Amino acid sequence: MSSTIQSRDASASGENAISDIIKQGTERGIMYTTAGMVAGGLASIVLARGGGGARKAITALGTGIGAGAAWTRCSIDIEEAVKQMK
């Protein structure tokens, strides 16, 4: 009986750990995406002085890099948490 309760507690804490990681990943995603957008916007001002299309492309690239970095970090954190649960 106690082993069943312990396994339920372990799975509940594991679910909470994954939930916390996803919550942190969302916060990190907002920060990284915003930072990428700002960095891309500043780079576009410096690199593409005349054209509006090039500025949009450089800003979008920076935004995508920020979102991708946050996604990758969250994915790595989830994989590590799952390995620790086993």
Q: What domain range is 38 assigned to?
A: 2-85
CA angle 66/70/72 to nearest 5° reads: 115
Q: State the pLDDT at residue 11.
A: 53
- Concatenating the DSSP letter of every residue in 52-82 gives HHHHHHHHHHHHHHHHHHHHHHHHHHHHHHH
When divided into structural domains, the chain yields a total of 1
pLDDT tens, position by position, for the chain (86 residues)?
444 444 434 455 777 889 999 999 999 999 999 999 999 999 999 998 877 799 999 999 999 999 999 999 999 999 999 998 87
Q: For 39-76, b where at least 16 C-beta lie within 10 A, e where not — what string?
A: bbeeebeeebeeeeeebeebbeebbebbbebbeebbee
Whole-number pLDDT of residue 85: 84
pTM for the full model? 0.76
pLDDT given at position 49: 81
